[in-house]
Amino acid sequence: MKRILSIQSHVVFGCAGNSAAVFPMRRLGMEVWPINTVQFSNHTQYAAGWQGMAMPAGHISGLIKGLADIDVLAQCDAVLSGYLGSAEQGDEILAVVAAVKAANPNALYFCDPVMGHPEKGCIVAPGVTRFLTEQALPVADIMAPNLLELETLCATQLPDLAHTRAAAHQLLAKGVSMVLVKHLGRAAQDVSRFEMLLATPQGDYLVARPLYEFAKQPVGVGDLISALMLANLQAGHDPISAFERTNAAVDAVLLKTWQAGAYELQLIAAQQAFAEPMIAHRAVRLA
* Per-residue pLDDT, 183: 94
216 is in an annotated binding site: no
Percent of the chain with pLDDT over 70: 98
DSSP 8-state symbol, 133: I
Q: Please, are residues 20 and 223 in contact by the beta-carbon 8 Å criterion?
A: yes
Question: What average pLDDT score do residues 180-206 get?
Answer: 96
Residue-averaged pLDDT of the chain:
96
pLDDT of residue 121: 54
Contact by Cβ (8 Å): 48, 107: no
d(CA 89, CA 86): 5
Residues forming a β-bridge with 35: 7
CA 273 from centre of chain:
18
Q: What is the pLDDT of residue 124?
A: 75
- Give me the phi and psi of 91, to 5 degrees please: -60, -40
* The pLDDT of residue 119: 59
69 phi, psi to nearest 5 deg = -65, -30
Task: Please tell me whether 44 is known to bind a ligand.
Answer: yes
Q: Using one digit for the tens of pLDDT, what is the confidence trace for 18-54?
A: 999 999 999 999 999 999 999 999 999 999 999 999 9
Q: How far is CA 223 from the centre of its chain?
A: 4
pLDDT at 126: 79
Domain assignments of the chain as residue spans, ordered by start: 3-286
Q: How far is CA 268 from the centre of its chain?
A: 19
Supply the pLDDT for residue 122: 63
| Residue 45 among known ligand-binding residues | yes
What is the DSSP code string of 210-229? E----SSPPS-HHHHHHHHH
pLDDT tops 90 at residue 117: no
CATH level 2 (architecture), domain 3-286: 3-Layer(aba) Sandwich (3.40)
144 known member of a binding site? yes
9 is in an annotated binding site: yes
149 is in an annotated binding site: yes
